[in-house]
Amino acid sequence: QVQLQQGGAGLLKPSETLSLTCAVSGGSFSDYYWTWIRQPPGKGLEWIGEIHHSGSTNYNPSLKSRVTISVDTSKNQLSLKLSSVTAADTAVYFCARGLRFLERLLGLDYWYFDLWGRGTLVTVSA
């Protein structure tokens, strides 16, 4: 059974760099879009960015200048770095496994997240 084990510091000061990891056990990195999503307290889900097993990345335009997502295939581990954090970055951060199903002949094209980490609460406070 594939599991996502999250780790990283939960308390940061403003201007520091958030650094989280997500270890994938029981499965491989191939053919998935490994994704970071966050949820501020009492609010909805916000997509941060993704990395495909090929190495290509996409980032939320509102965070792009501060975000780096990478993978270490030797460790089966996904990483997130978010620089220059402020109180607005306080949130629960989730890693998730994304998939795309495409069958053009049938007119089917859909994306979904089938597996989520348990989340890491990151608090930014002076």
Partner 1 sequence: SSELTQDPAVSVALGQTVRITCQGDSLRNYYASWYQQKPGQTPVLFIFGQNNRPSGIPARFSGSDSGNTASLTITGAQAEDEADYYCYCRDSSSDLPLFGGGTKLTVL
Binding site for partner 1 (CB under 8 A): 35, 37, 44-47, 50, 58, 60-61, 94, 98, 101, 108-114, 116-119
Q: How far is the CB of 74 from partner 1 (least distance, A)?
A: 27
Q: Does residue 35 sit in helix, strand or coil?
A: strand
Q: How far is the CB of 99 from partner 1 (least distance, A)?
A: 9
Rounded Cα distance between 105 and 28, Å, is 28
Q: How far is the CB of 93 from partner 1 (least distance, A)?
A: 11
Type of residue numbered 57: T
Nearer residue to partner 1 within complex by CB, 15 or 114: 114
Closest to 66 (Cα-Cα) out of 23, 125, 14, 118: 14
